[in-house]
Amino acid sequence: MARSPTVIVIGGGNAALCAAISAAEQGASVRLVERAPEALAGGNSRFTAGAMRVTYDGVEDLRRLMPELTDAEIARTDFGSYPRDAFFDDMGRITHYRTDPELAETLIDSSLPTLLWMRDQGVRFLPLYGRQSFEVDGKVRFWGGLTVEAWGGGPGLVEKLTEIARGHGVDIAYSSRAVALEHDGRRVTGVRLQTQAGPQKMAGDAVVLASGGFESNAAWRARHLGAGWDLARVRGTRFNTGDGIQMALAIGAASRGHWSGCHAVAWDLNAPEYGDLDVGDGFQKHSYPLGILVNNRGQRFVDEGADFRNYTYARYGAEILAQPQQTAWQVFDAKVTGLLRDEYRIRTITRVVADSLESLAEKMEGVDAGGFLSNVKAFNQAVRTDVPFDPSVKDGRGTAGLDIPKSNWANPLDTAPFEAYGVTCGITFTFGGLHTDVRARVIDQGGEPIQGLFAAGELVGGLFYFNYPGGTGLTSGAVFGRIAGLEAAGSRSA
């Protein structure tokens, strides 16, 4: 009887766990090695809110994904739709049409089937009410194409996937760092590991790399992203230092994608160097489209309302990094503070409140008060108050005559109390990575697949350039992780 193939999966996040489950489902014997100790395992996936971008043609598709949706919920909610064409448009527009069309097509067309597969495995989903909807005229309306989150957010997702993987017999080794791939000149035959017991070799018929990008490697950040990026805070795990990419390049894999680009956001000014699992993504500050963003000179430097936050937040981190002291302040008045996202209510937050703009300016440490007050005055005068404000659509309520416009959701800052939140740049993940094909095979510098080597998740290059549509990272990891597991299980050394 033929022995079942052994598949080694490197990483412990969403992409790795989906790959492991998928390979095990095919009958492979699966060994997953995670660099982090069990208490810190789960990679960036565990830090997320579990938001996942998925196509749906209407509420019936959502019902398939979330059978728990009640009729009452459906009646009071306008879920809209997010058809494949809309996802395609977003991927094209957001990446300046550089995204690999084949990878993007696979990602988009497999998004719903993959989430349905996860559901069949036991993952539960629910509507992302808290962060992606506003109530308008008595109806809750979703916006920005992002409607679904995993039950329990990132921690719930990782916990459930781990439980499912174990249920399929996947052997999980924590505190085990893969350091090199074994290659016999023809195919990958295993990995070398650094474990608490010392160096080890693990043999396998196929290896799936799902060990994240290089966002947690300050030297690589400065080298590839550019000067100053060593100063960014890391939003998630400290363990994604580019190991998987390095190991594959060392055996001849081709690099691909936007190596000088990354996903980076507005992140609390006093957040620690790496993510804190107790706070999760709570240090992010994503409600800037409702207010203004100023630097320490008191000047605005981006169009806060250029688009829904899902389509601007991932590139505004870089804009903040480029400001003096890598610092900015988000400023709101009482007209909108009730609409701020839940992350504005965490305990560890850099927040100042005042009854006047003058007093607020004094409290915003390091900010030129005179510059701030004159810029707010100019902003307030430029707001087109003749256009109604509606946060659930791109309302066109912009400014007129400013060098840096605000295109939507502009409101004069005139109602006390005023609030300001200090932010810096938090890097989420890097865009550059390995060249893979739609079968998740790693491609070598000659354009051929490296036998026995697959990759999924953050370390795949070629999908994201310049920017990223929110909620796509987990979906990409799940889609290509599932494919990688399936392909790896069919891969066997002679």
Ligand X SMILES: Cc1cc2nc3c(=O)[nH]c(=O)nc-3n(C[C@H](O)[C@H](O)[C@H](O)COP(=O)(O)OP(=O)(O)OC[C@H]3O[C@@H](n4cnc5c(N)ncnc54)[C@H](O)[C@@H]3O)c2cc1C
Residue numbers at the binding site for ligand X (CB under 6 A): 10-16, 33-36, 41-45, 47-52, 177-178, 210-212, 235-237, 239-240, 243, 275, 281, 428-429, 457-458, 471-474, 477
What SS3 class is residue 191?
A: strand
Query: Quick one: 51 or 413, whose CB is closer to ligand X?
Result: 51
- Residue-wise burial string across 432-447, b where 16 or more C-beta atoms lie within 10 A, e elsewhere: bbbbbbbebbbbbeee
Query: Quick one: 178 or 318, whose CB is closer to ligand X?
Result: 178
Q: What is the DSSP string of 239-293?
A: --SSHHHHHHHHTTBPEES-TT-EEEEEEETT--SS--TTTGGGGB---GGGSEE
Query: Quick one: 46 or 300, whose CB is closer to ligand X?
Result: 46
Query: Quick one: 211 or 296, whose CB is closer to ligand X?
Result: 211
Query: Quick one: 36 or 112, whose CB is closer to ligand X?
Result: 36
Pair 369, 299: CB distance under 8 Å: no
Which residues are paired to 181 by β-bridges? Answer: 191
Q: How far is the CB of 462 from ligand X (least distance, A)?
A: 14
Q: How far is the CB of 253 from ligand X (least distance, A)?
A: 15
Query: Quick one: 422 or 477, whose CB is closer to ligand X?
Result: 477
Pair 291, 331: CB distance under 8 Å: yes
Query: Quick one: 406 or 441, whose CB is closer to ligand X?
Result: 441
Please tell me the distance from the alpha carbon of residue 49 to that of residue 477, in angstroms, as a whole number. 15
Kindly state the helix (H) or strand (E) to which residue 179 belongs, with its residue range: strand 176-183
Q: How far is the CB of 46 from ligand X (least distance, A)?
A: 7
Q: How far is the CB of 255 from ligand X (least distance, A)?
A: 17
Place of tokens 């003749």: 386
Q: How far is the CB of 354 from ligand X (least distance, A)?
A: 29
Nearest to 379 by CA among 414, 355, 328, 334: 414
Which residues are paired to 10 by β-bridges? Answer: 33, 209
Please tell me the distance from the alpha carbon of residue 88 to that of residue 373, in angstroms, as a whole number. 42
Q: How far is the CB of 386 from ligand X (least distance, A)?
A: 36
Which residue type occupies 98? R
Q: How far is the CB of 207 from ligand X (least distance, A)?
A: 11
